[in-house]
Structure 1
Amino acid sequence: MSDTVDNKNAADKAVSDIMEIEDSKMDTNPDTNRLALAQMMGSEEFKLAEKKLKRKLDIRLLAVMWLIFVLNYLDRNNIAAAKVAGISKSLHMSATQYATAVAILFVGYVLMQIPSNIFLSQIRPSLYIPAVMAIWGIISACAGVVTNPAGLYAARFFLGFVEAAFYPGALFLISSWYKRSEMGVRSAILFSATQLGSAFSGLIGAGIQYGLDGARGKPSWRWMFIIEGSITVFVALCAFLILPDWPSTTRWLTPTERAVAEWRLIEDAGQVDEDDAHWGTGFKLAFKDFRLYIFAFIFFCLQVASATSNFFPTVVGTLGFNRVNTLLLTVPPYFVAMFTSIFNNWSADRRQNSSFHVMWPLAIAIVGFVVAAASLNTGARYFAMVLMIAGGHGSNAVVLAWTQKTLIRPRVKRASAVAFVNAFGNIAQVWTSYLWDDKTAPRYALAMSVNSAFALLAIVGALVMRLILQRANKKLDAGGAGVADVMKGESQAAIAGLSEEERNLRREGFRYIL
């Protein structure tokens, strides 16, 4: 107990001392002041301040983003539970019309991601993200009152258009606060919200099906949209007060915490994370980097392999259970997927390796696809469903974190890159919706074969990217190229308070994560 008190007193004294330095040594450049403030801190003082900062971020940034993403995925994928609850019958929809309702969301989703992320890099995230969340909550609730397929198409399209702002924006914001060694596991924790959202969709759907079917003359699927959309709007209003902006502009951080937030990112990448590039320049830098397209290809293949989620309750329904039990049986595979994803990304961070952590979950998913298509045994098929969900989702966060660990600076380049990779990958969600024709049940041989093939292609893509980055690191080790050469035009902004020689040493210490 005394050690804890001593550490707290030391941290408080450090903050007090640094604040005195800041007040007495202010010059005309606030950015220089902040960075100089961090450089003057002792090692123990810096670690204590950094620990306090990360605790704040994990609560006010990561935890809130996680909750928002649960609702994001719930509002996006509740149509799968709605199918089991009878939406196709109520709206007189054919299998093709239902597939179109699923697919059309991703048309809007793909169109808006890159413009939204570039826009986000220029404004306050604490205002932008909650605002779009409130809008998509309203749209999701409106889906509960549509009376024909055309109305559902419109609601789904605009839902995707607005929801597009969130996931790439959340990843981009996380990468603006956490170091590369911290980003993977936090990206996985964020991504685990998709599995929990899918699990909750089954639980909530089962509860609404059991308790509200026919209430006030409405079928249960309408209550699903209305209740879940209303919850989203409420959480959005709370998020306005909690989320941070950028390290240099977040108002609820102390000056010391802002200094520490910026300096630790500089130490990690050897350069500042400010936008010294116009958004157009950063956009061009991203699209001139050939590695962007390899990451996009990998993520596209991953999204094909994990597109089962859009039809998972229907797939589970082929086991022959009633509606409530079918929805409940969708829950365990997503919990397994959540823990698999978090463990996989934690391991990727700890081992400083991304490529192999993309490959092994996909190999597991391939086993699941093959067994599901080959067997009609109930136990074997349900086990295969667990494998296909856990394996198909286990690599997604690794790829997006790896993209941002590789295409780092300037800020707009990173924002454009992660948005493009996520948008391009989600094109897969448009056409894969038509693979799950009811006539091919229960084996869904075509869908399972396509999923297996694209999972294998993603494994090959990850291996290719590993070899490319390995080659770049060897050039740096041999001194045959500088960091500026291998980083494909990324920012080389000066670090305040360091000599040119010290800046060069920091940059030359940079190596890509394989």
Structure 2
Amino acid sequence: MLAKFNGYLNGRESRPGEAKLLRKLDFFILSFCCLTYFFNYLDRSNLSNAYVSGMKEELNFQGNQLNVINTVFTVGYILGQIPSNLALTYVAPRIFFPVMIVLWGGLTMITAAVHNPQSIMAIRFFLGLAESSTFVGTHYILGAWYTEKELGKRSGIFTASGLAGTMFGGFIQSGIHSSLDGTRGLSGWRWLFIIDGLITLPIALYGLFLFPDTPTTTRAPYLSPSERALAIARMPDANPVESRLNFAFARKVFSTWYWYGFVMLWIIAGETESFSTNSLLALYMKSHPTNKYTVTQLNNYPTGVPAVGIVSTLFWATLTDFMGGKRYLVGFFIGITGIVTSALVLAQFSSTATVFGAYYWAGAVYACQATFFAWCNDVMRYQDDRLRSVVIASMNLGSNAVNAWWSILFYSANFAPKFTRGMWAMLGCSIALMLWTGGIVYMTAKDKRQGPDNVEPTEEMAERSIYKPKE
């Protein structure tokens, strides 16, 4: 099984010793980053799990306070992204990542001591700052170690690990609630935050001692000198950081279609994930007019949504790689999915089983995360590195900036169980996504006809990156 997994990731060995190097990198980089992202998402999703498991009643939540807390977290997450990624260029990743993990683990445990929703709001803001390092930081690291033909699958596996955190959060919450509720006078949902915080600490220690940093700075004891040299040689030459962040550079960013095209793509696609990221199925069950669900059911039934997301993410990441990078297919698939699922929830004739099926199917849109970031990297592969980094960062910033208010406007908890306004928003986003995807396909085809604007890959670059430029 392990041999098949390594074959799925690595394919054929291009250089002597490369397969062995990749096995080591996959084990230490992916294990640490995926575990980090798993517990990152576990912390996020468990707030909703705790909400439906007694926290709402114990802390006397009113109206849309849960959505406000999620928005406060998003604000902290947005503000922390660029500073945290810049910090990785000054502080060794093996130091920076563990510090952030310890910080958010401590904040998670502190949540167990709160007595009102306002305290959670303050904690979640700083939790967002700390957790902002994980997503963008990991993509920075993956891009430093893996070539173009290797990066897509790793990105898909990384994304799937976050969805697994969302999926298993429900099972963990139900288990804690049934076994620890009332222990030492604490509610089950409080034990959830304590345990979540504690289990992040071993991951921080693991990263501190064994994370390999970047190819040019690694001191990992498990990499031989020849393997370190190979890690550097197999990647394309990095452009030196000499250009300044001035008006000329800003004008360059906003004068290309890449910034507008991919930032808007991810803003629209990010809102098609709202069914899942706002835990609408759990809120639908909690507010069902006739059916009453147990705490175990409220936590376990929604886990099918991220499970579908994991399968969809890995399927589309693999398929689009196999088809030569036709990432745009995911945009059309997600658009169709959004239209059908939102229509099913809106329909008066839909039964409870139909609504459940619609929410489960909607989990498939999670595939857009890994695929669309890979698409941006594909299209901008030979553009200026700094320009590409700004576009990728702006994609995530733009999406989260919209998420900060989108959930309150369309998916407030007091709109349950139908979320009529949100369903219409989903229909609009799905149609817009297909149109925008078509626009990017047109622009990329136009670029190919005109040829690269700035940089033509040289033979040396192609040799070092193990990538042959198109003829």
- TM-score, scaled relative to structure 2: 0.87
Which residue number in structure 2 is paired with residue 303 of structure 1?
270
CA distance in 2, matches of 1:228, 1:287: 42
User: Taking structure 1 as reference, are residues 508 and 153 closer, same or farther at Cα in structure 2, changes over 3 Å only?
Assistant: closer
8 Å CA contact 1:368–1:386 kept in 2: the answer is no
- State which of 323, 331, 339 in structure 1 corresponds to 2:303: 331
Q: What is the SS of the residue equivalent to 1:395?
A: helix
8 Å CA contact 1:273–1:410 kept in 2: the answer is no
Q: 1:508 Cα deviation (Å)?
A: 11
- State which of 156, 161, 167 in structure 2 corresponds to 1:199: 167
8 Å CA contact 2:85–2:137 kept in 1: the answer is yes
Residue 345, structure 1, aligned to residue 317, structure 2:
yes
Q: What is the SS of the residue equivalent to 2:406?
A: helix
CA distance in 2, matches of 1:119, 1:510: 33
Q: 1:340 Cα deviation (Å)?
A: 0.9
CA distance in 2, matches of 1:75, 1:508: 39
Which residue number in structure 1 is paired with residue 447 of structure 2?
472
- State which of 280, 284, 301 in structure 2 corresponds to 1:315: 284
CA distance in 1, matches of 2:167, 2:440: 33
Residue 107, structure 1, aligned to residue 72, structure 2:
no
Per-residue CA deviation, residues 41-79 of structure 1 (Å, 9 max, x unaligned), is xxx995332111211111111222111100011112211
User: Taking structure 1 as reference, are residues 283 and 316 closer, same or farther at Cα in structure 2, changes over 3 Å only?
Assistant: farther
Unaligned residue ranges in structure 1 (runs of 5+): 5-43, 267-271, 477-482
CA distance in 1, matches of 2:119, 2:14: 56
- TM-score, scaled relative to structure 1: 0.80
Per-residue CA deviation, residues 391-423 of structure 1 (Å, 9 max, x unaligned), is x21211111222233344665544433222112
User: Taking structure 1 as reference, are residues 263 and 102 closer, same or farther at Cα in structure 2, changes over 3 Å only?
Assistant: same
Unaligned residue ranges in structure 2 (runs of 5+): 4-11
Give the AA of the match of 1:273. Answer: A
Which residue number in structure 1 is paired with residue 7 of structure 2?
none
CA distance in 2, matches of 1:144, 1:287: 45
User: Taking structure 1 as reference, are residues 299 and 58 closer, same or farther at Cα in structure 2, changes over 3 Å only?
Assistant: same
- State which of 380, 387, 394 in structure 2 corresponds to 1:420: 394
Correspondence 1:20-419 to 2 at 5 A? 47-252=15-220, 253-266=223-236, 272-278=237-243, 280=245, 284=250, 289-308=256-275, 309-312=277-280, 313-317=282-286, 318=288, 320-351=292-323, 352-374=325-347, 375-390=349-364, 392-408=365-381, 412-419=386-393
Give the AA of the match of 1:242. Answer: L
Which residue number in structure 2 is paired with residue 510 of structure 1?
469
Identity between Structure 1 and Structure 2 (%): 26
Give the paired residue count. 448
8 Å CA contact 1:118–1:415 kept in 2: the answer is no
Q: 1:494 Cα deviation (Å)?
A: 8.5
Which residue number in structure 2 is paired with residue 25 of structure 1?
none
User: Taking structure 1 as reference, are residues 417 and 122 closer, same or farther at Cα in structure 2, changes over 3 Å only?
Assistant: farther
Q: What is the SS of the residue equivalent to 1:164?
A: helix
User: Taking structure 1 as reference, are residues 506 and 227 closer, same or farther at Cα in structure 2, changes over 3 Å only?
Assistant: closer
Comparing 193-202 and 404-413, the one that deviates more:
404-413
Per-residue CA deviation, residues 263-321 of structure 1 (Å, 9 max, x unaligned), is 3332xxxxx12534357379756565431232111111122111222223213433642
Per-residue CA deviation, residues 473-498 of structure 1 (Å, 9 max, x unaligned), is 1122xxxxxx3x255xxxx8989xx5
User: Taking structure 1 as reference, are residues 181 and 70 closer, same or farther at Cα in structure 2, changes over 3 Å only?
Assistant: same
User: Taking structure 1 as reference, are residues 165 and 56 closer, same or farther at Cα in structure 2, changes over 3 Å only?
Assistant: same
CA distance in 2, matches of 1:356, 1:121: 35
Compute the RMSD of aligned alpha carbons: 2.9
Which residue number in structure 2 is paired with residue 37 of structure 1?
none
CA distance in 1, matches of 2:463, 2:310: 41
- Structure showing greater radius of gyration is 1
Give the AA of the match of 1:131. Answer: V
Q: 1:333 Cα deviation (Å)?
A: 2.3
8 Å CA contact 2:235–2:465 kept in 1: the answer is no
Give the AA of the match of 1:385. Answer: Y
